[in-house]
Amino acid sequence: MPKKESDKKVPVDKLRWRLDPATLPFETTEELEPLKEIIGQKRGVEAFRFGMGMEKPGYNVFVTGMAGTGRMSTVRRLLEEISKKKGSVPDDYCYVNNFKNPEAPILLRLKPGMGLKFKKDVRNFVETLKKDIPRLFESQDYLNRKKEIMEEYEKKGKDFFKALDKKVRREGFALVDIQVGQIKRPEVVPLVDGNPVHIDQVEAMVEKGRFPKEEFEELKKKQEKLRKDIEQISLELRGLQKEVQGDVEKMDRLMFTKMATELAAPIKDNYKSKEIDNYFNAMLEDMTENLQIFTPQTQQAIPGLSFVLPEGDSFQPYQVNLIVDNGDQKGPPVIIESYPTYRNLFGSIERVVDRSGVWKTDFSKIKAGSIIKANGGYLVLNLLDAITEPGVWPALKRSLKTKKMEIQTYDPFYLFTTTGLKPEPIEMDIKVVIISDAYLYHLLLAYDEDVKKIFKVRADFDTSMDKNAESIHQFAEFIKMRKDEDELKPFDRTGVAALIEYAVRLSGRQEKISTSFPGITDLIQEADYWANQESQSVIQEGHVDKAIEARVYRSNMIEEHIQEMIDRGTLMID
């Protein structure tokens, strides 16, 4: 019986698709323009553009697809393109001291580039005060005013003691100073024969019968009364001294406030912000309560220490902590965080050891992470990196759901108190792009109910595209683009045809072309290497074939050993 041929028999010429180089409308890639658009990912690109364009909550994007489909390079290219078109640059962010509640630093938002200028203006303002205030307190005008106050005090004090001295002498006593240790204090002693005599000596004279006892008892009563008068006058003098000290301090504050307000006025006018006005008012108020910082103070050594720790800066509370500077940005920032630890992504509050060995922190130790630096723009993360870092995924979801970000140091054990600060939260306006494979995406979608709320768009990247005249021409333009960017030799039409045939073979179907452009880029660079080895000016089909063969040879040692075992008969195949 004759054997019937199967209808599914594949002719030999159909086993492999070939591209005739003569059909390509160029001799070398030098005649082509570099590829400008993204090819092979129409569905994914449209979904991505939609997600980036939706200005509603939750429209962040999950980019899925197999590794090697160019997800990261495509996302970077799309975001840079969107950022250039959008053009709006986000604000700068500064943290400043909250003088009423230092544990809650205040956030200031300024226009792009103004944050650094504001920081310099405040620093220069403080430096000017450090130089001018000591001069103010040494000026002749200040010294004259202070002298007037002190002279008035001394006059009142003299009047007090003059009246007291008259009263004491009228009662037959004298006012003398008695040394008690290091202190002199006034004391009343009786006058005997016109000379001041201590009461104990008068008592001795009474015992010897040289002074009348009745008169002595009268003297004691008078002395006790006069002592009470002296104590009363001393209290009044102390009150007067406090009043004078208060007048001097009030004068100091008034003169300081006048000078500082005049110096601060131009800075306030430059920014015209209620928050900055309030900050300057609070700063000047705090300075008036701490005028002693403007007078030089000597550092005292701590007993028991052979060395002296550096002294803290008294003016540090009056500085500005610029955490985000967008002065050099031309559009919304695009940040690709390749190492998304909690610290790198969300920032931290650093700590230092003070002179007494105690851990301390303040507003100046607040550091911003990538998510705050990307605020107003775009942040790109790899899902596997994000979910394997402790604390990152929950914090990322929380900031996207609440649209607020509060900088804190990550402490998974809550055993050591890392900080007592609670900085003012930052309002978030950011688009987050997560890159993942389809398996991890579906796994997360099934087990995390928040994913569908905060990542409403999925941009799925395909592994292949349709093969037609347009896609073949675009592929050739892609080769030209890689040649220019990597500074390689040009391809002739045979080399381009060989690369396209390889891309078709990678896709597994003759009507498709693979979109695994990172792998194809590697092959382009390897073909350039072999052309260099042969000192050729253009890359030809032979160089591409050699690159493919070398790639296979580098990885098929096990395959060859198995084939040898089959040839020897060690392995039998039934």
Q: How far is CA 470 from CA 66, 148, 460, 512, 544, in A?
A: 24, 95, 22, 13, 22
> For residue 458, what are the β-bridge partners?
62
> For residue 343, what are the β-bridge partners?
none
Instruction: For residue 55, give both structure tokens.
Output: 């200005």
| Shared-domain flag, residues 383 and 343 | yes
DSSP 502-570: HHHHHHTSTTEEE--HHHHHHHHHHHHHHHHHTT-SSB-HHHHHHHHHHHHHHH-HHHHHHHHHHHHTS
| Shared-domain flag, residues 342 and 392 | yes
| Shared-domain flag, residues 54 and 146 | no
| Shared-domain flag, residues 156 and 235 | yes
In what order do the strands lie in the sheet containing 173-180? Answer: 173-180, 183-192, 195-196
Query: Can you give the pLDDT of all 574 residues of the chain as single tens digits?
Result: 455 556 678 788 778 888 899 999 989 999 989 888 788 888 888 999 999 999 899 999 999 988 767 788 889 989 998 888 887 899 999 999 999 998 999 999 999 999 999 999 999 999 998 888 888 878 777 777 777 777 777 776 676 667 666 766 666 676 666 665 566 666 666 666 666 666 666 666 766 666 666 666 677 777 677 777 777 776 766 776 777 777 777 788 888 888 888 888 898 888 888 999 999 999 999 988 888 888 765 555 455 544 444 556 788 899 999 999 998 888 899 999 999 999 999 999 888 776 766 778 888 899 999 999 999 999 999 999 999 999 899 999 999 999 999 888 876 655 455 557 889 999 999 999 999 988 999 999 999 999 999 999 999 888 888 899 899 998 999 999 999 988 999 999 999 999 999 999 998 888 999 888 888 999 999 999 999 999 999 999 999 999 999 999 999 999 999 999 999 989 888 7
Query: What is the rounded distance in angstroms from the CA atom of residue 316 to the CA atom of residue 122?
Result: 11
Query: What is the rounded distance in angstroms from the CA atom of residue 276 to the CA atom of residue 115?
Result: 12
Instruction: For residue 171, give both structure tokens.
Output: 């009662």
| Shared-domain flag, residues 452 and 472 | no
Q: Considering 461, 489, 510, which residue would you say is the last residue of a domain?
A: 461
Largest separation between any pair of C-alpha atoms in the chain:
170
| Shared-domain flag, residues 36 and 53 | no
Nearest by Cα to 15 from 505, 468, 465: 505
CA 545 to chain CA centroid, nearest Å:
52
> For residue 94, what are the β-bridge partners?
108, 322
CA 203 to chain CA centroid, nearest Å:
81
Query: What is the rounded distance in angstroms from the CA atom of residue 164 to the CA atom of residue 150?
Result: 21
Query: pLDDT at position 306, please?
Result: 45
Query: pLDDT at position 2, please?
Result: 56
Residue 112 lies in a domain: no
Residue 491 lies in a domain: yes
Residue 295 lies in a domain: no
Cβ burial of 298 (10 Å; 0-12, 13-18, 19+) is exposed
* CATH code of residue 78: 3.40.50.300
Reduced to 3 states (helix: H, G, I; strand: E, B; else coil), residue 326 is coil
| Shared-domain flag, residues 496 and 454 | no
Region label for 414, one of left (φ > 0), alpha (ψ between -120 and 50) or beta (otherwise): left
| Shared-domain flag, residues 425 and 482 | no
Q: How far is CA 181 from CA 184, 185, 200, 542, in A?
A: 8, 10, 20, 108
Query: What is the rounded distance in angstroms from the CA atom of residue 550 to the CA atom of residue 147?
Result: 96
Residue 479 lies in a domain: yes
Query: pLDDT at position 343, please?
Result: 92
| Shared-domain flag, residues 27 and 45 | no
Residue 359 lies in a domain: yes
Q: Which domain holds residue 341?
A: 41-90+329-461
Q: Are 133 and 256 in contact (CB under 8 A)?
A: yes
Q: State residue 106 phi and psi, 5-degree precision.
A: -95, 135
| Shared-domain flag, residues 237 and 268 | yes
- 387: enclosing H helix or E strand: helix 383-388
338-389 pLDDT, tens digit per residue, is: 999 999 999 998 887 767 667 788 888 999 999 999 999 999 999 999 999 9
Q: State residue 335 phi and psi, 5-degree precision.
A: -120, 125
Instruction: For residue 454, give both structure tokens.
Output: 């905060």
Neighbours of 521 (CB within 10 A): 18
Cβ burial of 415 (10 Å; 0-12, 13-18, 19+) is exposed
CA 295 to chain CA centroid, nearest Å:
33
Reduced to 3 states (helix: H, G, I; strand: E, B; else coil), residue 65 is coil
Nearest by Cα to 41 from 24, 64, 17: 64
Reduced to 3 states (helix: H, G, I; strand: E, B; else coil), residue 299 is coil
| Shared-domain flag, residues 449 and 483 | no
Query: pLDDT at position 124, please?
Result: 93
Residue 396 lies in a domain: yes
Residue 285 lies in a domain: no
* CATH code of residue 480: 1.10.8.60
Nearest by Cα to 62 from 452, 516, 463, 515: 452
Residue whose token pair is 């969107």: 82
Reduced to 3 states (helix: H, G, I; strand: E, B; else coil), residue 189 is strand
Helical axes 469-486 vs 517-533, angle rounded to 10°: 60
Query: What is the rounded distance in angstroms from the CA atom of residue 374 to the CA atom of residue 269?
Result: 30
- 187: enclosing H helix or E strand: strand 183-192
- Based on the structure, what is the number of domains in the chain? 3
Q: Considering 461, 481, 515, which residue would you say is the last residue of a domain?
A: 461
Q: How far is CA 208 from CA 172, 183, 205, 216, in A?
A: 22, 34, 5, 13
Query: pLDDT at position 122, please?
Result: 92
Residue 220 lies in a domain: yes
User: For the chain, first and last CA: distance in Å?
Assistant: 27
Q: Considering 461, 478, 498, which residue would you say is the last residue of a domain?
A: 461
Query: pLDDT at position 558, please?
Result: 94
Query: pLDDT at position 42, please?
Result: 86
| Shared-domain flag, residues 442 and 351 | yes
Q: State residue 483 phi and psi, 5-degree precision.
A: -60, -45
Neighbours of 243 (CB within 10 A): 13
